[in-house]
Amino acid sequence: MNIAHSLLLPDVFEGREKLVVLAPHPDDESLGCGALLARAFTGAGAHVICLTDGSASHPGSTEWTSQRMAARRRAEMIEAIECLGGSARDLTWLGMTDSGLYQADTNAVAVDLEQIIADFGARHIFAPAAEDHHEDHQATARFASELRTRRPDWSFYSYPLWCRWDDPDFRQTTARHAPIYLSSGDLRERKRTAINAHQTQLGQIITDDATGFALSAGFVEKFVTEDEIFWRMP
């Protein structure tokens, strides 16, 4: 862990202020922000807003319709949040089309997000990094950017997922953001359990779609064992 950053952590990273995590899909919250959320749930509180219904991960399955997949992924997300110390009340499920966020009205989504966050009483928002290559992650970053223009009194942070995995120059390209490194510490196994709750994404549930999405063991281990990374949204 970068000790210089650890000595300068804002209160929100220590669980002393409420926060909201924007997750494009169920599992993004646990992978990118599991330790952050666990600290918040035992402290000031946290809320997760999941934008999509997560139903597009196995389009070739005949046993798992979109509706069945969405219901399962919502249940998995609630279980993951419970593993981190929260409850179903700490989740807002928007249920938008998986892999279709680019079609959404950015301003309209930002208005909805603003209301949810204001009602919760948080002023710290965490969204996927714009550098992530998944279009739903990029769209969520745009929603957060639009929200920031509406609420300059709130603080906005980015968390990297896919760019951290598939960008060989990740450290160099993100150094300009002065990233904050947050150790999972004694919360590591709780975070692992939360990630493991997303069984549909780990190849453990759906057996009739050989081309369906599955997180690799190496990907999961990277996000479990390494520090979580955040930076102020540019």
Kindly report the pTM of this predicted structure: 0.96
Residue 227 contacts residue 180 (beta carbons within 8 Å)? no
The widest CA-to-CA distance across the chain, in whole angstroms, is 52
Give backbone dihedrals phi and psi of 230, rounded to 5 degrees, phi first: -140, 155
CA pair distance 57, 70, nearest whole angstrom? 10
Fold of 3-232: Rossmann fold (3.40.50)
Residue type, 14: E
Predicted pLDDT at 6: 46
- 141: tokens are 């970053």
Residue 42 CB-density burial (10 A; 0-12 exposed, 13-18 middle, 19+ buried): middle
Give the other-Cβ count within 10 Å of 26's Cβ: 31
Instruction: Please report, in tens digits, the pLDDT of each residue of the chain (234 residues total).
Output: 343 344 579 999 999 999 999 999 999 999 999 999 999 999 999 999 999 999 999 999 999 999 999 999 999 999 999 999 999 999 999 999 999 999 999 999 999 999 999 999 999 999 999 999 999 999 999 999 999 999 999 999 999 999 999 999 999 999 999 999 999 999 999 999 999 999 999 999 999 999 999 999 999 999 999 999 999 998
Predicted pLDDT at 114: 98
- 182: tokens are 């947050």
Strand order across the 180-182 sheet: 91-96, 46-52, 19-23, 124-128, 155-159, 228-232, 180-182
Predicted pLDDT at 206: 97
Predicted pLDDT at 117: 98
